[in-house]
Amino acid sequence: MRATANRNAGRLLAATALLPALLCAIPARAQDRLPLVPQPSAITRTAGSFTIANGATITADASDTGAAAAARLLIAHVKTERGLALQTSPKGTIRFVRDAAIKGAEAYRLTVDASGAKITASGDAGLLYGAMTLAQLISPDRAFGQPFRIPAVTIDDAPRFGWRGLMVDTARHFQSLPSIYAIVDQMASVKLNTLHLHLSDDQGWRFEVKAYPKLTEIGSIRTSPSTGEKPGTRVGGFYTQDELRKLVAYAAERGIVIVPEIDLPGHAQALVAAYPDLGVIGDTPEVSNAWGVNPYLFNPGPKGIAFVKTVLDELMAVFPGTYIHLGGDEAVKDQWERSPEVQAQMAKLGIKDENGLQSWMIDQFGTYLASKKRRLIGWDEILEGGLPASASVMSWRGEKGAVEAANQNHDVVLSPAPTLYFDSLQSDRRDEPPGRLSIQSLATVYNYEPMPAGIGPDKAQHVLGAQANLWSEYIVTPYQMQHLIFPRAAALAEITWSGKDKRDFAGFLDRVQPQIQRWRKSGLEVADSAFAVGYTLDGTHGDALRTNRAKVVLATQAPYGTIRYTLDGKVPTARSPAYTAPLSVKPGVSIRAAAFDASGQPVAEPRLFETGRQALLTRTASDMIACPEGSLGLRLPLTSEAQGNAPVFNADIFDTCTAYPAAPIDVAKGFTIDIARLPRNWGLAHDFKKVRQHYNVTPHGELLVLVDCTVKGAKPVIAGTFPLPDPKTAPTRFTVKGALPAITGDRDICLQFTSPTSDPFYAVERMTLSETR
C-alpha cells in the first residue's frame, strides 16, 4: 500500500576553481571514466583533441527541426553547466548530421577529433542524445567559463531499453508546472525518456476535462485534516489542457514522452466527489485528505464506461504518446460487492467475481484505445481477473506481475517497490526530509536489474524497460521532489540505458560526480546523502558517558573519496587530517567531516557531530527505534501540507509507540519529552484491523514512559504516566518532564500513547535525558 508502513545547511560548497590552468583536459584515465552518465555502449579513444571556447560554433540544418532542437539544447546545457557560450554558424566545428545507416531512433555516433565534433544519427532522439553526451564531455565542473579541451574519441551508443521512466504523483500533492519542467529538463540530460504523470487519485483530479468541468472545479481541491497547524486549509490545483499541450511539446523536444494516468476503479474518490453518480453508493464524499487506500470505487456501468471514453478522447487529444495508464491498483472491492446495480451488471455479463469485472472494464478501455492506435497500461493488479489482450502491465508489487504478464506475451515495465519507489528515503540520516523509511540507496537502485530472472530469453522483448515512481503523500515542495529523484535518477538512467555488461558501481560513483555538479549548476537540489559523512559510536552512548570517552566511527554510505575531519568546529578542507581509524575523543569535542575526491573537492556538505554530554543524552525522532511489536515505516512531517524538511517523525502508523534505544538510565536521572500531535489521515481499508488500540483511562489518553519495554518476557517499569491534553484546545507541540527510576545500565525506553485511534496521532519529536532531576 502506498501510504502505509507495512509495505514495504546549505548546498555543497560550490566546487571552487582550484585549478588556475586555462585549459583543462579530462585526465587521461581508463576510457570508461569519461564523465558520462549513462555509460555509452562503445568508446574508442583516438589521438588528438578539440578545444571548445566561448564562441565555438555549431551547425545544424535550420530545416531539420530535430537537429535545430538538439543544437539549442546543447547550447543551453553548455552555457549553464560549463559557462561557455556556443553559437550557430553555417560552418560550425560542431556538426549535426543525419545518417540513416545509424539504426534505431535513439542511437547516435559522436566523433570528436582535431577538426571538431560531429553528431550522427538517424532519429531526432539520437541527435539529442549525441548532444547530451557532448555536453557531458565538455562539462566537468572545473574552470567554469574557461576553454576546454576534449580528448578525441568516437562514441557509438544506443539504449538497452526503450522505456526509461520516472513517475511523478501530482495527485496527492499538486506539483507546480515549473517544477515539472525542471524535472523534464534534467531527465533529458541523462537520457530518461518517459515521464508518467499520476493525474488522479482520491486526493485530487489534476487534468482538465472540458466535458466534465466539475472534475477540476470540485475534484482538484481538498481540505486539510482537522489536526495540524492550519486545519481546514483548502489545497490543490490542476493543469489546463493548453498548459499540458505546451508541456508535452517541451518534453517531446527533449526526447520525452508523457504517459498520463487516470487511476480507476480504486483511488477514485476525487472523481466520485465531483460526480457522485459515477460512484457506486450514491453519496457525495469529500475529496479525500487521507493517504492510502480509500473505499470509493468508480462505477463501471454504461454511464461510467461512456464517461471514461470521453476522458480518454480528451487525454488522447493532449497526450500523443502510445500509452495511456489507467491505474487499476489497490481497489478494495467492497462497494462493488455490496452494490445490487454492480452485481446485476456482473450477472448480465456472466462475470463471476469483482476481479473479473475489473478485467472486463480494463478491456473496454484497452480495446477502445487500441481502436485509436493507442495502448493501455495498468498496475499489476489488472492481472488478477485475467489480463485482457489489450493491456500492458506496470509491475509494482515486486516482479511477479511482470513475469506473469511477459510470459503471457504482454509488454511490461518494471517499477518494483520498494527498490524503484523514489519516495523511499535514500539513507537513514537524520537530515533526510519525509518519505518512506525503507531505505533505497544509490547503490540499491544501481544494482537493480530490470530483466527479471523468471522471464526467458524468448519473452525478453516484452520487457519495455523500467521506471522509478515518486509518490507524493509526504512530498510537498520542489526541493523535496528533487532531493528524492536526484542523484538516484542517474542510477536509473544507467540501468535502463547502458548494457548489463557496463554495470560498474565504482566507475559510476566517479562519473556521477560531474553530473551532480551539472545538476546543481542548473539549480536543482541534489541529495548528497550517499556521500555525506555519518557518525556512529563504537559502543553505546552510555559507555561514552560512563568512561568520558567517545569512540566515533566515520563513514559514507557510498565508498567514495577520502574522509577528512576537524575537531575544532572548523569546516574541513582538503588539507584536514584524513580519517583512517575511529576517533577517540573526550565528550564535548565537535567533529566536522566531509569526503573529498581525488582532486580535493568536497563531495558532500560537511556534517557535524557533537559529542557533548547533553548531545549524547538526546535522541530525536529519527533516532527512535520501533517498539517491540511494531515497525517504523514512514518518516512523517508535522502536518499534511508542511513545506519544511523538519521536523520529521519516524513512525509506525499502526501503533503510537516509539522507543529511545539503549538509554543510559544509570547516568540519567530525569527526562524531557517533546511531543507533537499529527493528523491520523490514513485510509487503511482492510488493514485497519492492524491498528493497535491501547485503551485510554483519561479522556484523551496518556503517554506511558516504559523502561525495559523491549525485553522479551519482562514486565516494563513505568517511569511516568502523563494524561494528554485536549486536542481541541492544546497547542500542537508540547512537553512533558519526569524522573527516571534508579536502574543500572542501558535500557530501551518505550514511549507509548494510549489515545483513541480515531484521531489524532501522537509522535515524539525529541527525548532529552538529564543528569539531574
Q: Which residues bind ligand ACM (CB under 6 A)?
A: 2, 329-330, 379, 396
Return the residue matching grid coordinates 537530515.
431
Nearest Cα to Cα of residue 149 among 116, 186, 172: 116
Nearer to ligand ACM, 379 or 531 (CB): 379
Nearer to ligand ACM, 253 or 329 (CB): 329
Distance, in Å, from the CA atom of 606 to the CA atom of 602, rounded to the nearest integer, reads 8
Collapsing DSSP to helix, strand or coil, 411 comes out as coil
Nearer to ligand ACM, 94 or 259 (CB): 259
Nearer to ligand ACM, 205 or 379 (CB): 379
Q: Give yes or no for a cis peptide into 664 (omega within 30° of 0).
A: no
Nearer to ligand ACM, 208 or 330 (CB): 330
- CB of 397: closest distance to ligand ACM in angstroms? 8
Nearer to ligand ACM, 137 or 634 (CB): 634
Distance, in Å, from the CA atom of 29 to the CA atom of 88, rounded to the nearest integer, reads 32
Nearer to ligand ACM, 266 or 366 (CB): 266
- CB of 550: closest distance to ligand ACM in angstroms? 42
Distance, in Å, from the CA atom of 706 to the CA atom of 717, rounded to the nearest integer, reads 6
Nearer to ligand ACM, 148 or 421 (CB): 421
Neighbouring residues of 297: CB distance < 8 A, sequence distance ≥ 6 = 265, 266, 268, 272, 279, 280, 331, 333, 335, 336
Nearer to ligand ACM, 202 or 748 (CB): 202
Distance, in Å, from the CA atom of 222 to the CA atom of 291, rounded to the nearest integer, reads 12
Angle at 393 between CA 293 and CA 264, to 5 degrees: 35
Grid coordinates belonging to 662: 539503549
- Amino acid (one-letter) located at 89: S
Could you tell me what percentage of the chain is helix, strand and coil, using 3-state DSSP and rounding each to the nearest 5? 25, 30, 45
Half-sphere exposure of residue 659, counting CA atoms within 13 Å on the CB side?
Answer: 23
Catalytic residue chosen out of the listed positions 196, 198, 267, 700: 267
Burial class (CB in 10 A: 0-12, 13-18, 19+), 515: buried
Nearest Cα to Cα of residue 252 among 105, 380, 109, 141: 105
Q: Yes or no: say if 406 and 459 are a contact pair by the CB < 8 Å rule.
A: yes
- CB of 398: closest distance to ligand ACM in angstroms? 12
Grid coordinates belonging to 356: 473479473
- CB of 380: closest distance to ligand ACM in angstroms? 8
Nearer to ligand ACM, 291 or 596 (CB): 291
- CB of 581: closest distance to ligand ACM in angstroms? 44
- CB of 473: closest distance to ligand ACM in angstroms? 11
Catalytic residue chosen out of the listed positions 261, 330, 363, 380: 330
- Amino acid (one-letter) located at 543: D
Q: Yes or no: say if 606 and 528 are a contact pair by the CB < 8 Å rule.
A: no
Q: Which long-range contacts (CB under 8 A, 24 or more apart) does 452-455 make?
A: 452/399, 452/402, 452/403, 452/414, 454/399, 454/403, 454/407, 455/402, 455/403, 455/406, 455/407
Minimal CB distance to ligand ACM: which residue? 329
Catalytic residue chosen out of the listed positions 124, 141, 201, 253: 201
Other C-beta atoms within 10 Å of 570: how many? Answer: 11
Nearer to ligand ACM, 202 or 411 (CB): 202
- CB of 379: closest distance to ligand ACM in angstroms? 5
Q: In angstroms, what CA-CA distances link 749 with 217, 428, 625, 627?
A: 49, 21, 10, 9
Nearest Cα to Cα of residue 202 among 88, 98, 286, 93: 286
Length of the chain: 773
User: At what angle are helices 65-82 and 124-138 packed, to 10 degrees?
Assistant: 20
Distance, in Å, from the CA atom of 721 to the CA atom of 63, rounded to the nearest integer, reads 78
- CB of 648: closest distance to ligand ACM in angstroms? 22
Q: Give yes or no for a cis peptide into 661 (omega within 30° of 0).
A: no
Distance, in Å, from the CA atom of 54 to the CA atom of 146, rounded to the nearest integer, reads 8
- CB of 733: closest distance to ligand ACM in angstroms? 32
Q: Is 330 a catalytic residue?
A: yes
Collapsing DSSP to helix, strand or coil, 329 comes out as coil
- CB of 205: closest distance to ligand ACM in angstroms? 17
- Amino acid (one-letter) located at 205: W
Return the residue matching grid coordinates 462475470.
351
Rg from Cα positions in the chain: 28
The separation between CA 42 and the C-alpha centre of its own chain, rounded to angstroms, equals 31
- Sign of torsion over alpha carbons 569, 570, 572, 576: negative
- CB of 238: closest distance to ligand ACM in angstroms? 21
Phi first, then psi: what are they for 610, rounded to 5°?
A: -90, 135
Nearer to ligand ACM, 8 or 339 (CB): 8
The H helix count followed by the E strand count for the chain is 17, 40
Nearer to ligand ACM, 151 or 204 (CB): 204
- CB of 421: closest distance to ligand ACM in angstroms? 7
- CB of 414: closest distance to ligand ACM in angstroms? 13
Could you give the residue numbers annotated as active site?
A: 201, 267, 330
